[in-house]
Amino acid sequence: MFNFVCNCRTLAYARNCSIDAISSLIRAHKQELHFLQTHQPFSSSSIVKTSEKRSTVVSYLINSCGLSPERAISASKYVNFKAPENADSVVAFFKKHHFTDAQISTLIYGRPQILSANPDKTILPKLEFLQSVGFSSFDIPKLVCVSPRILHRSLRNRLIPVYNFLKNLLHSSEDVVVAVKQYPEVLQLDIENTLMHKLILTKNAVMKSFLEYISSCSAVLCDHNRDSKKIVERIKRIGFNPQKRTFIEGVYLMASLATRTWKHKMEVYKRWGWSEEEGLAALMTYPLEIRNEDQSSYGSSGAKDVI
């Protein structure tokens, strides 16, 4: 049955592979055959065509992209082409733009869908933009390999707004380049009309050393479904200093807590005999610690020392 599924090209390549590589290829074909057999109806010709197509992709990823057999099998699930011409043009494009063979292999394994892209229309404008804002031809391949999804992000709607946000935050293109090289995932964030964006619009610039923290809180700070302006203004009224890390922590805390939960915490503080101002003072001092507090952790007298 296995011989029925595998074509001659894969078997010929398998003779030159290690025992582990051969085993991987066999497992992949057996899994494919099991799927095809359990998802009827399929004709024998469709099974042969599907297997031939898959093995062609695997061979291409190994021979042209430098992937190991195991990685090629894994990546082939996300690659779909009838002929390798477009994939060849993508590989040639990256070589032309100073990507090493190892970097191309890493990139394609991390984002195999890129082989179906139009390099001049989809990829080139993003590389040109990165170079125009200060990334060198040496920096760009490293950046793309670490964060390959940026090649699938909209230049107009994602990359440029993120860059503008960071430049407003850090004040210079040089500092943006340094920050992005340290935290490449920040380029993938969707920040328009979010808390992160409101921090800039309300002129509450934070120090650049907070960028790592901002990135770690991105799921909350980049949520479009929050009343960003009210949250930022409330944190200002409480008394957070926009130049200190507690400002960002306070915004994160306020955004991550539901309104009902926030009110409940204030009620608990009042039962302890605290005024609202004292509760807010505790929040300013230990915002993230208070966020993680559970009512059950307090003694019957509520006398847990939090300040």
Instruction: List, for residues 114-150, the tens digit of each pLDDT value.
Output: 999 999 999 999 999 999 999 999 999 999 999 898 9
Q: What is the mean pLDDT of residues 72-81?
A: 88
Of 76-90, 175-189, 248-262, 292-306, which range is least confident? 292-306
Residue 191 near residue 197 (C-beta atoms within 8 A): yes
Q: Is 268 exposed, middle or buried (0-12, 13-18, 19+ CB in 10 A)?
A: middle
Residue 200 near residue 165 (C-beta atoms within 8 A): yes
Distance (Å, whole) CA 268 – CA 250 = 19
What confidence score (pLDDT) does residue 132 get? 95
Higher local confidence (pLDDT), 292 or 201: 292
Q: What is the mean pLDDT of residues 202-213?
A: 48
Entry pTM: 0.56
Confidence of residue 188 (pLDDT cuts 50, 70, 90): confident
Highest mean pLDDT among 44-53, 79-88, 131-140, 254-263: 131-140
Of 59-68, 101-110, 268-277, which range is least confident? 268-277
How does DSSP classify residue 9? Answer: H
Summary count for the chain: helices (H), strands (E): 19, 0
First to last CA, the chain: 71
What is the total residue count of the chain?
307
Tokens 């926030």, residue located: 262
Distance (Å, whole) CA 101 – CA 66 = 7
Q: What share of the chain is helix, strand, coil (3-state, %, to 5)?
A: 70, 0, 30
| Residue 303 pLDDT greater than 50, yes or no | no
Residue 284 near residue 240 (C-beta atoms within 8 A): yes
Q: Taking Cα atoms as reference points, which of 2, 6, 1 lies closest to residue 48?
A: 6
Give residue-wise pLDDT tens across range 219-243. Answer: 555 555 556 667 777 777 777 776 6
Residue 218 near residue 189 (C-beta atoms within 8 A): yes
Confidence of residue 106 (pLDDT cuts 50, 70, 90): very high
| Residue 46 pLDDT greater than 50, yes or no | no
Q: Taking Cα atoms as reference points, which of 276, 230, 265 lies closest to residue 251?
A: 230
Q: Taking Cα atoms as reference points, which of 239, 303, 224, 306 lies closest to residue 277?
A: 239
Tokens 């992005």, residue located: 180
- Percent of the chain beyond pLDDT 70? 55
What confidence score (pLDDT) does residue 270 get? 84
Nearest 10 degrees: CA dihedral of 25, 29, 34, 35? 110
Residue 289 near residue 246 (C-beta atoms within 8 A): no
| Residue 213 pLDDT greater than 90, yes or no | no
CA dist list (Å): 262 to 97, 171, 187, 281: 52, 35, 32, 15
What confidence score (pLDDT) does residue 71 get? 94
Q: Report whether the peptide linkage leading into residue 41 is cis, meaning its omega lies within 30 degrees of zero.
A: yes
